[in-house]
Amino acid sequence: MIDKMQKGIEFGRDLNPDYIDIRFQNKYMSQYQLKDKDLTANTGSRQGFSTRALVDGAWGFASTTSTKLDDLKTIIQQAFGLAKGAAPTVKDKVKIAEVKVYQDKVISPRIKSLEDFSVTDKINIVKNAEKSLKDYKEIKSYQLSYSEIIDHRIIMNSEGTQIESLDMKPTVAAYVVASREAKMAPYLEAWCKTKGFEFLDEHPLSDIAEFCAKQAIKNLDASLPPGGPTKVLVDYTSVGIIAHEAIGHCSEADLVDAGSFLKGKLNQKVCSELITIIDDPVLDDASGWLPYDDEGVKGQRVEIIKDGILTGYLNNREYAARMNMEPTGNARAFTFKDEPLVRMRNTYIKPGDMTEEELVEAIGDGLFVTGMMNGSADTSGEFMVGTGQAIEIKNGKLTDKIFVGPTMTGNAFEMLSSTIGVGKEFLLNIGQGFCGKEQAAKVDAGGGKLACTVILGGN
């Protein structure tokens, strides 16, 4: 593939574009799922080339599922022709920021390659997890799954960049529904990391399924907590959703340019000085591993917010040039058929200096919310996060009283402005690890536990 791509770059240069790049990708995806005793298995690969040409300030893009050199040359001609044809009508001419040229091969962390284990091994993961639910008679419905992505990419451009990347990401997820008489209570837990099969030893699906069963059954006896503004201690899952959905997206340069809440606020205070939010390309025990982005740019650690002050945006080469900033390596495409967009990697609230006991004491009277059922936000910072469970905090102590997980709503920047403290323990988990901005992307998020005030939906 590298030889074909080098010949493709030489062919493209002869057309005299301002810039040209080629991406090869072979993405293998599989999922093995048991849903109420019914097993389904889906596997498959997507392979091909894509190319972008920049001509007189206009982009052209084309792709093919063929890996033949002649077909690669064809899409290069197509991309060049599209860019050249569009150039006379483009008013805001595209420029791309200069970057250092790298030639590198990177392999994601793994001890046991996913490719060394059979389909039977992977199906047995969900079958064994199903067995772990047999003694929980109140569990009436369940979905248990193991899925994986094995991704091989090569990125090459007319400037001399050549990056080869080999990546693998396993995921386990359990969703159960407990039922008693007319009451039903669901619970969800999922994990994804950039690792090999050793991930299954660290996060056994059987243990996750049992945990979900116990929490769902507890929720059968629980009621909704009081609604309205409430002091809460938020665990790392919901902290991650806030960091990703409500803050991270607002800092993506294309959405900033379109008018997100953070537009025009660089170097201004946007929340409590206790809050620092970071987007990192490579972290241990994280699923958003991206040493180089899909433009071949080396990933940079970005402090989006530092001590409450907005200090950075996430960008690609085009928006870096437009905003007169350094490229951060946040251009990402899910498959070779997708054009790279500005996307997050591992986004988190930097841990503080408080223990969980100190955070609970600081809350006084309120709730400890755990687990994450769903979450969404918009570019104004308004968000909604459905949590799994809430535990009462009374007089600075956790009690035995449990509530059904409430929905947290409000404006993320107002919520973070009310911060009382941030925990010192650091953990990332955004569940199954997908972000859905126009196309899928594997990401991670989390941070330290957060003590603050938020609006709860409840009684």
| pLDDT tens-place values along the chain, 459 residues long | 999 999 999 999 999 999 999 999 999 999 999 999 999 999 999 999 999 999 999 999 999 999 999 999 999 999 999 999 999 999 999 999 999 999 999 999 999 999 999 999 999 999 999 999 999 999 999 999 999 999 999 999 999 999 999 999 999 999 999 999 989 999 999 999 999 999 999 999 999 999 999 999 999 999 999 999 999 999 999 999 999 999 999 999 999 999 999 999 999 999 999 999 999 999 999 999 999 999 999 999 999 999 999 999 999 999 999 999 999 999 999 999 999 999 999 999 999 999 999 999 999 999 999 998 888 899 999 999 999 999 999 999 999 999 999 999 999 999 999 999 999 999 999 998 899 999 999 999 999 999 999 999 977
The Cα 423–Cα 447 span in angstroms is: 8
The Cα 406–Cα 457 span in angstroms is: 6
* Angstrom distances, CA of residue 400 to CA of 272, 394, 397, 457: 31, 10, 10, 21
Helix ranges (DSSP H) in 132-280: 199-202, 205-220, 236-241, 253-257
The Cα 167–Cα 110 span in angstroms is: 9
With CA atoms as reference, report the closest residue to 58 among 78, 76, 22, 85: 85
- Chain centroid to Cα 195, Å, comes to 15
> 318-336: string of b/e by CB count within 10 Å (b at 16+)?
bbbbbeebebbbbbbbbbb
Q: What does the angle CA 315 – CA 316 – CA 322 come to, to the nearest 5 degrees?
A: 80
**Residues pairing with 42 in the sheet:** 31
The Cα 73–Cα 450 span in angstroms is: 53
SS3 label, residue 456: strand
CB under 8 Å to 419, separation ≥6 — which residues? 271, 272, 274, 275, 450, 451, 452
The phi, psi pair for 417, rounded to 5°, reads -70, -20
The Cα 75–Cα 135 span in angstroms is: 57
In the structure encoding, which two tokens stand for residue 370, read together?
């755990």
With CA atoms as reference, report the closest residue to 376 among 334, 436, 458: 436
- Chain centroid to Cα 293, Å, comes to 14
Q: Which helix (H) or strand (E) holds 69?
A: helix 69-86
The β-bridge relationship of strands 444-447 and 346-349 is parallel
Is-contact 342 314, C-beta < 8 A?
yes
Q: Is residue 355 left, alpha or beta, with left meaning phi > 0 and alpha meaning psi from -120 to 50?
A: beta
| 4-7 contacts, C-beta under 8 A, 24 or more apart | 4/67, 4/69, 4/72, 5/49, 5/72, 5/154, 5/156, 6/156, 7/69
The Cα 276–Cα 287 span in angstroms is: 21
Domains of the chain: 2-220 (3.30.2290.10), 228-457 (no CATH)
DSSP 232: E
The β-bridge relationship of strands 103-107 and 162-180 is parallel
The β-bridge relationship of strands 228-234 and 366-377 is parallel
With CA atoms as reference, report the closest residue to 410 among 370, 436, 377, 388: 377
Name the pTM for this structure.
0.96
pLDDT of residue 228: 96
The Cα 278–Cα 436 span in angstroms is: 20
> 433-453: string of b/e by CB count within 10 Å (b at 16+)?
bebebebbbbbbbbbbbbbbb
